[in-house]
Structure 1
Amino acid sequence: MDTAYGSHPPASRVPTALRAPFSGRTWREFLYLLLSLPMSVVMFCYAVTMVSLGAGLLVTFLGIPVLAGALMGCRAMGALERVRARGLLELDVDPPEPIRAAKPGFLSWVGAVLKSGVSWRHLLYSILHFPWAIFAFCFSVTFWSVGWTLLLYPVWQWTFPAYLDQPGIQLWGNGHGDGVYLDTPAGMAVASATGLLLVLAGPWVIRGLTHVDRVLVHGLLGPSPLATRVTELETDRGVVVDTAAADLRRIERDLHDGAQARLVALAMDLGLAKEKLAEDPQAAAKMVDEAHGEVKVALQELRDLARGIHPAILTDRGLGPALSALAARCTVPVKVEVDLDHRPAAAIEGITYFTVSELLQNVSKHARATAATVDVWHAGDRIMVLVTDNGQGGATTEAGSGLAGLAERLGSVDGLLVVDSPVGGPTSITAELPWRG
């Protein structure tokens, strides 16, 4: 199997700590902190003014639509903040769910805005971000500018005697001309060294400040956890429906092309044998004997089909015997170990079985392995499955692969699929499902 890998650029010989003050990320984050102050002033003033106006007008009907308009304005500025975070902090936050009124009409829309928790979270962001933006702006500007100023002090120290009538930066003075100045080579070296330390620490300070902004943007301007969970469940439901439809089509195709076609041919052969029974008993007996063989083949196909839907051994005896029977049919020697103190939910048990079945099929068809193992155990509220083989490796969950479809099906029940398959092998695939016993 040929697998292409992208080439990685050679690692820089300059340490990260020395490159950080000049990196684009540092200056983008610093620009974000600079822009946060004017943005927060606008948002804070707008939020306080409009909410105060709406609250003051609540004695009349006008206060309610004014409050709704204030919340919608906060949502609009929140959208601008998400764009700013995406561009400067590389923080991609999904937009929250839109306002959905229960009925058409202005009053219904106003009620939907006021009942939306997302709208109130945007208002809370407009208020809370203001004091933080002031602190982050002042601290970052002071720290960053002092660091660069001291680092470059030997370059601009001449301005003090030339324009300020003093030899350098004054560290201490009594107001009568006496004092301690940074005007000697040693003093300037100490100032420059201090500035270097501040400059080297500046990117990490800026990164720490913007981390708070990341938390605020992600927590207050994104979709609510409940809405995110609903979206995930809707996606998972679609995957389940598609998988069930595909399984039904597979069963119909297997019945139509396999057992059904064989039984139709069998009926025709028996009809011919019936016609020949009186005139040529030997030929009729031979046809009946052939039909008997066809019946055995059809029965085997029906058993295989039933096993593909849900094997009886899984229902009757559980995962251990079912997986051992599955491994016995694999073209590669498979060692099975199942450590379960009791059985999980029937649906999870079935998904686990078919997960192992599909992984072993991949081992048989693609891995070129000589040995494989299947381990199943219970860990907390999860059931863990580990399938390994000593084959050629190169398995991925990229779109379009069989493992990608398997990962989607596991995700539909809050499961997880992790593939570790370097080229040349070995391959280790871990599946994790909820227990739900």
Structure 2
Amino acid sequence: MRFRPPRIRAALYRVGRGLLARDTRDDQLQLLTTLALTPLYVMPLILFTLGAGLTPLLLLGLPLLPLSMKLANWIARLDRQRLFLLRDLDIDMPIAVSGNGWKERLERLFGRRAWRELGFTVVMSFWGLGVGGLMVSLLAAGLLLALLPLLGPLLPDGSSLLGMDVGSLAVAVSGGAVGLGLLAAGLWLGGPLARTESTLVARMLGANRVDHLVRRMTDLEDSRSRMVDAAELERQRIERDLHDGAQQRLLSVAMSLGRAKTRFDRDPDKARELMLAAHEEAKAAMQELRDVTRGLHPAILTEQGIEPALATIAARCPVSIDLSARMQERPSPRAEAVAYYVVSELLTNITKHAAADRATVRVFREEQLLRLTVTDDGIGGVDPARGSGIRGLRDRIRAVDGHLTFSSPAGGPTVVDVTLPWKA
């Protein structure tokens, strides 16, 4: 029979395991580094206050003002790096002013971002003193009381704590219990305080809504220019394919029908051969037209949705495709079109370049996202810098606020993961 510990013992085991977990240690380390950096947080405020106070006196404190701003900027960069190392938190930085003119330099030194960083050091100095002092007090007092049963016999007779005899067994045991409680409270409290500090740093140092909008506008301008270039290249390809293929076949059809027309009366057999040849050319021209228009927007995608359309692509692909598409309802037409194009392009690239025997395509809904994953067992080594394929796909996906990530180590496998808004 399996041994089941009592509820109290199991609860204590879970509490102890939680208090000694890695996340708890990271929380304590973050708060301890905050306390250690508190003197550094205070320095920009002290320098700025001295500079502002001494500047009216023959401008003696004027050099301290830019020095305080530069120090606040350096501390902000240090804090971003600290949270990245301790919490794996990558804070999106505000947009920096570019240029080397005196106006740009003055903006970088005393602009909105510089004042935010100075205010950040002020807030963090109070935060470090308050929170750091609280944590150190709790842990130090808890450790001292927890060790009281061991230290009590070693202390001189008559030693007291809050008017109570430390040598007393009851006082020592109760003090040890209170100490363990304070230690547990200090370790548990580190989690909420560390998360609050991370949120505070991200809000004060991270990019605001204006920065995000400016970055979004810049990305859209860049992707739009690349999309225009890609659309022009696609138009030229279609024009070339039509001119070299279907147009030549249709010209041959017209010539064959013209020759057959002149031979109807004097050579019916020859006219029949010419008409049969024209019929075959017409069928070949239709097939070439289908090949040209197949990648644009197939009718099956509009009429039946993404699942039958992807099944058609998988059936045509020379590589063995394992397709899974699980959706109870259809996403927006734009999301379907982008997903169809992405899967079509990825399978084409796999066929041409990956030397793969098998590929897997997964399409499913994840909350308000349409997610698709394409994996192949090819040679890998995909590098966006050596071709425009991945960059073109990323531009098309980002145009609808989607996101593309891929992994392609040398030797494979290559995994491409794409998320699109369900109502793009």
TM-score of the superposition, structure 2-length normalised? 0.65
How many angstroms does 1:75 deviate by? 0.8
How many angstroms does 1:140 deviate by? 0.6
How many angstroms does 1:283 deviate by? 3.9
Which region of structure 1 is more displaced relative to structure 2, 353-362 or 199-208?
Answer: 353-362
Matched residue, 1:140: 135
After TM superposition, list the pairs within 5 Å mapping 1:170-181 onto structure 2.
Answer: 170-172=161-163, 180-181=164-165
Say if 1:33 and 1:137, in contact at 8 Å, map to a contact too: yes
After TM superposition, list the pairs within 5 Å mapping 1:115-130 onto structure 2.
Answer: 116-130=111-125
**Does residue 113 of structure 1 match 2:109?**
yes
Match for residue 74 of structure 2 among 70, 73, 76: 76
How many angstroms does 1:123 deviate by? 0.9
How many angstroms does 1:27 deviate by? 4.5
How many angstroms does 1:62 deviate by? 9.2
Say if 1:410 and 1:433, in contact at 8 Å, map to a contact too: no
After TM superposition, list the pairs within 5 Å mapping 1:254-273 onto structure 2.
Answer: 256-257=240-241, 260-267=244-251
Structure 1, residues 252-285: CA drift from partner, whole Å, max 9, x if none?
Answer: 4455456732432453576578679679774454
CA distance in 1, matches of 2:65, 2:101: 17
Cα distance, 1:256–1:310 mapped onto 2, change above 3 Å: same
Match for residue 234 of structure 1 among 218, 221, 225: 218
Matching residue's letter, 1:291: A
How many angstroms does 1:295 deviate by? 2.6
CA distance in 2, matches of 1:39, 1:336: 52
After TM superposition, list the pairs within 5 Å mapping 1:17-416 onto structure 2.
Answer: 17-22=15-20, 25-37=23-35, 39-50=37-48, 53-54=51-52, 57=55, 67-101=65-99, 104-114=100-110, 116-161=111-156, 165-166=157-158, 169-172=160-163, 180-239=164-223, 241-242=225-226, 245-246=229-230, 249=233, 252-253=236-237, 256-257=240-241, 260-267=244-251, 282-283=269-270, 285-299=272-286, 301-302=288-289, 305-306=292-293, 308-310=295-297, 349-355=333-339, 409-415=396-402
Q: Which runs of 5+ in 2 are unaligned?
A: 1-11, 316-322, 352-357, 384-388, 406-417
How many angstroms does 1:124 deviate by? 0.6
Say if 1:153 and 1:188, in contact at 8 Å, map to a contact too: yes
Aligned residues: 372
Say if 1:263 and 1:295, in contact at 8 Å, map to a contact too: no
Matching residue's letter, 1:147: G
Which region of structure 1 is more displaced relative to structure 2, 305-314 or 203-212?
Answer: 305-314
CA distance in 2, matches of 1:69, 1:55: 15
CA distance in 1, matches of 2:213, 2:14: 38
Cα distance, 1:246–1:17 mapped onto 2, change above 3 Å: farther
Matching residue's letter, 1:139: L
Identity %: 22
SS in 1 for 2:155: helix
Cα distance, 1:335–1:181 mapped onto 2, change above 3 Å: closer
TM-score of the superposition, structure 1-length normalised? 0.63
CA distance in 1, matches of 2:143, 2:267: 109
Cα distance, 1:350–1:281 mapped onto 2, change above 3 Å: farther
CA distance in 1, matches of 2:58, 2:278: 90
Matching residue's letter, 1:204: W
How many angstroms does 1:206 deviate by? 1.8
Say if 2:97 and 2:104, in contact at 8 Å, map to a contact too: no
CA distance in 2, matches of 1:95, 1:335: 38
CA distance in 2, matches of 1:39, 1:327: 56
Q: Which runs of 5+ in 1 are unaligned?
A: 1-13, 173-179, 341-347, 388-392, 419-428
Say if 1:274 and 1:284, in contact at 8 Å, map to a contact too: no
CA distance in 2, matches of 1:28, 1:373: 37
CA distance in 2, matches of 1:57, 1:281: 109
How many angstroms does 1:309 deviate by? 3.1
CA distance in 1, matches of 2:134, 2:326: 62
Say if 1:269 and 1:287, in contact at 8 Å, map to a contact too: no
CA distance in 1, matches of 2:381, 2:187: 38
Say if 1:97 and 1:223, in contact at 8 Å, map to a contact too: yes
Cα distance, 1:373–1:206 mapped onto 2, change above 3 Å: closer
Say if 1:270 and 1:288, in contact at 8 Å, map to a contact too: no
Say if 2:246 and 2:288, in contact at 8 Å, map to a contact too: no
Say if 1:237 and 1:412, in contact at 8 Å, map to a contact too: no
CA distance in 1, matches of 2:101, 2:255: 72
Matching residue's letter, 1:194: V
Structure 1, residues 136-157: CA drift from partner, whole Å, max 9, x if none?
Answer: 1211111111222222222222
